[in-house]
Structure 1
Amino acid sequence: MSFRLAIVGRPNVGKSTLFNRLVGRRLALVDDQPGVTRDLRESEGRIGPLRFTVLDTAGLEDATDESLPGRMRRLTERAVAEADACLFLIDARAGVTATDEVFADILRRRAGEVILAANKAEGQAGAAGIAEAWGLGLGEPVALSAEHGEGLADLAAALAPLIETKAETEAATAEAPETDVDVDEAGESPEGARVPTPARPLQIAVVGRPNAGKSTLVNRILGEERLLTGPEAGITRDAISVATDWDGLPVRIFDTAGMRKKSRVTGKLEKLSVADALRAVRFAEVVVVLLDAATPFETQDLRIADLAEREGRAVVVAVNKWDAEPEKQAKLKALRAGVERLLPQLRGVPLVTLSARTGQGVDRLRAAIETAQNVWNRRVPTAQLNRWLADMVAAHPPPAPGGHRIRLRYMTQAKTRPPGFVVMCSHPDKLPEAYTRYLVNGLRADFDMPGTPIRLWLRSRSEKNPYKGRKTPQPSRLRKHLGRPGGGA
């Protein structure tokens, strides 16, 4: 297990900026507004040759009640207890505050190893704050500038002995890993379909409107209160990814911020949150569109599902808060009819009813996700495709614009993830969109590919001909070019 370093401190001291610096990417949202980070975010960090897992935590608030700041503090305290070391960050320019002294005392009692760092120490403005930091009783402070990357060598020097000690302890107790699946280094099984492994887990994004229960669902899957939840809408801001083993299926789940209508997204921070959620959709393999059973199929729900289809992700529609639904059978019938009517581009998409609060139906969601991922990776043999194409054309021939019938000559599968097919035909630009939908719907029904996006490209044999459109040389000009009257060679 990797060495775990938790970055803790007051709000707005630069924890997320340092997190991004250590992981080498802008994963955490950064803004001048205090309290941007609310959930725990973790990723692989590095400083030179050192490798470790770094955790970005919410700012430590002086609150212990059931309010949102109080729940954020408890989540941070749990990260402190689970980490191998804590990097306690203070603002060198602001100096040591009374709140810093309170949290320094908490870390001395609860954390195993604590590294004190004074951020924003570039120039002379932070010199006084660095001197004050000695009074916290946590040893020599490391002067840092997370924004400019200064002081990382000193931080590495403080981390190196701690990481080395843990590595030696793990080496003494290590056991050979076991696996019951024959998987090669690329994560491919002997049959060719990708098998999720702990090194390359199945990527799942949970998306939906605010307060649909996304964080509660992810916590239920994880079996612990890993993400911040509550009755307030819009608690989640970052797209938080968490890796876990879901009943034998290695997965990485992205909990995303709720997506409101574009016209209602006005603040800079919410725009960043939505952009982070969209990025999670693009990186996912399966997207779970979570609906609220009380108000399903709002316009924004449909837009989110359409976004996942346009990005080519496998989609599962889940309806949360099903335990509070009084008329389950009638509501389920209406939901299924609504999916078929409102999401024709995802015909046959899996629909799962569940309760994230009680855990009802979560096992069915896992099965639907695994099935959707298998369909998303499905490959159909070319010979079988061409026999199918001939039957489809015989049952419903394509139109004949201008009296010239369009001939569909050949078909093959060009890609998977999502399935993509190429049809060689004459006059591809004249084939109506309705006929393309006829072929796509036939592929879904006959090759058992419900709900997954299907791409169909029409190509003409002459598209790759480099001489298409060039004039043929006249015989007289050709003879002149060869310089031989009569044209003989």
Structure 2
Amino acid sequence: MPFTIAIIGRPNVGKSTLFNRLVGQKLALVDDEPGVTRDRREGQARLGDLDFTVIDTAGLDEGPRGSLTARMQEQTEAAIAAADVLMFVFDARAGLTPTDRSFADFARRANKPVVLVANKSEGRHGDAGALESYALGLGDPIGVSAEHGEGMSDLYDALRAVMPEPAEEAEEFDDDDIIESDDISQRPIRVAIVGRPNAGKSTLINYLLGEERLLTSSEAGTTRDSISVELDWKGRDFRIFDTAGLRRRSRIEEKLEKLSVADTLRAVRFAEVVVLMMDVQNKFEEQDLRIADLIEREGRALVIAVNKWDLMDRGSGRIASLRTDADHWLPQVKGAPIVAVSGLTGDGIDGLMTAIQSAYAVWNRRVPTAALNRWFEQAVDANPPPAVSGRRLKLNYVTQAKARPPSFIVFCSRADAVPESYLRYLVNSLRGFFDLPGTPIRVTLREKANPFAHKRKRKS
């Protein structure tokens, strides 16, 4: 049975640094500015032989009802409710503050085991703060340095004491009893939701989950780091990443926003399908086109979601107009699925999830070799490559190197002489002939070895 630990404490005591240390990756954004973490983030942690789920939370802070700060605390309270153990973190160098004391009472009222962690205890600077923490009544403090990895063995002992004993080892099975499957239909589809700030990404994911899992606000930039959530939609598993909005590079000045953008780019690279969300009232702006181009360069399947459709007059032909606009502005991913949705009301959500699965299937598609070469012969006969310096280019044959995205190798006589325009022709022909709408297609040229090259060398 999974065991869950929630890391709690006031802002800027190093909760996200400790979270990253436990999961072994830099998943959570870390910065000197207080309040970087807003949504709760889950990760699979390992410390020694202990495996558990750890939840990073926003710093416990008070705010007016309905404010962003108050809703951040509600996210923390949800994490506390889901946890088996609370890891209360304070800054040993700064010592206890009134906020620490206030929320220590909050932790006690949760009526769950609490592990008290005195972070930033490297050297002797944290000794006084650690001693002071006995006044909280939460037991012995565990001195650690999350940044430098010190004190992890003591933390292990404290967690071992509150975690259940490991279950007995399962009965061994013969190799014949083990069934391995590489069927992609059994794996969760990794989906990143990206777009400009305030396009409605978090609102859409909350609707999919049926709960206020992610913070939303009319204020642009509410989401700061990429949060992943698991979703079962009509029997199909998804892992969906909410991301920070991407503004034009010239407008990104603050260090924290740069970190958020880098986190979004990592989510795109990790994803298999990327949903580009646009505001219906400001669609296909320059930044939208830049983001779509980034997705194509990274080789990810693309689905375009035009959000806030509930605000529009839904006259006839509006969807067809979206399709025309998409093919005009994004010729490099011609035919990419485009869906009108409303993250607030749920309109179009079924169509969006269907489009994601279709885009994923196309992204994974492999073309039979015989059919591929029949297409190649027809394409070259219909439009032969141009002559260069009076010499005709010879294209020999084609093979598919891989899928995800579909990638092909064309063997030819002089690879460096084939113009880009002809490569685009081959890509567009491939897309239409084999029904590969929207997905990035890679065509690489490779020169076929000349069997007579060694004879020319002998003569010289």
TM-score by length of 1: 0.89
Q: Deviations over 1:360-410 (max 9, x none)?
A: 111111110111111001011111111111112222222223443222221
* In 2, Cα distance between equivalents of 1:94 and 1:86: 21
Q: What corresponds to 1:75 in structure 2?
A: 75
Partner of 1:51: 51
Partner SS, residue 45 of structure 1: strand
Shift in alpha-carbon separation, 1:328–1:233, aligned structure 2, 3 A: farther
CA contact (8 A) 1:6 1:80 kept: yes
SS state at 1:272 partner: helix
Shift of 1:111: 4.5
2:61 is matched with which residue? 61
Corresponding position of 1:425: 412
* RMSD over aligned Cα atoms: 2.1
Indicate the structure (1 or 2) with the bigger Cα radius of gyration: 1
Instruction: Report the Cα distance in structure 2 between the residues aligned to 1:25 and 1:34, rounded to whole angstroms.
Output: 21
Displacement after TM superposition at 1:23 (Å): 1.1
Q: Distance in 2 between matches of 1:364 and 1:242?
A: 20
Distance change >3 Å, CA 3–CA 33, structure 1 → 2: same
Query: Which residue of the other structure, out of 160, 167, 182, is the alignment partner of 1:188?
Result: 182
State the 1:242 CA deviation.
1.5
Number of aligned residue pairs? 453
CA contact (8 A) 1:196 1:202 kept: no
The residue type paired with residue 418 of structure 2 is L
Q: Once the two structures are superposed, what CA deviation does each residue of 1:403-441 show, in whole Å capped at 9, x if it has no partner?
A: 432222211111110001111122232222222212111
Superposition map of 1:62-461 within 5 A: 62-165=62-165, 185=180, 187-189=181-183, 194-197=184-187, 201-461=188-448
Distance 1:470 1:108, change over 3 A: farther
The residue number in structure 2 matching 1:33 is: 33
- The C-alpha deviation readout for 1:297-356, integer Å capped at 9, x for no partner, is 111111001000000000000111111112443543332221011100000000011111
Query: For 1:472, what is the secondary structure of its paired residue?
Result: helix
Task: Give structure 1 regions of 4+ aligned residues with deviation exceeding 4 angstroms.
Answer: 465-470
8 Å CA contact 1:206–1:290 kept in 2: the answer is yes
Letter of the structure 1 residue corresponding to residue 427 of structure 2: V
Q: Which amino acid aligns with 1:214?
A: K
Q: Structure 1 residue 254: deviation in Å?
A: 0.9
CA gap of 1:301–1:207, structure 2 versus 1, over 3 A, is same
Q: Which secondary structure does the structure 2 equivalent of 1:195 belong to? A: helix
For the Cα contact (< 8 Å) 1:353–1:361, is it kept in 2? yes
In the alignment, structure 1 segments of 5+ residues that lack a partner are: 175-182, 475-489
In the superposition, relative to structure 1, how do residues 339 and 144 fare at CA in structure 2: closer, same or farther (>3 Å)? Answer: same
Question: Shift of the alpha carbon at 1:358?
Answer: 1.1
Is 401-410 or 108-117 further displaced after alignment? 401-410
Which residue identity does 1:454 align to in structure 2? I
Report if aligned partners of 1:336, 1:351 keep a CA contact under 8 Å in 2. Answer: yes
TM (normalized to structure 2)? Answer: 0.94
Identity %: 58
Q: Is the 8 A contact 1:314 1:453 kept in 2?
A: yes
CA distance in 2, matches of 1:374, 1:162: 45
* Aligned residue type for 1:32: D
3-state secondary structure, aligned to 2:282: coil
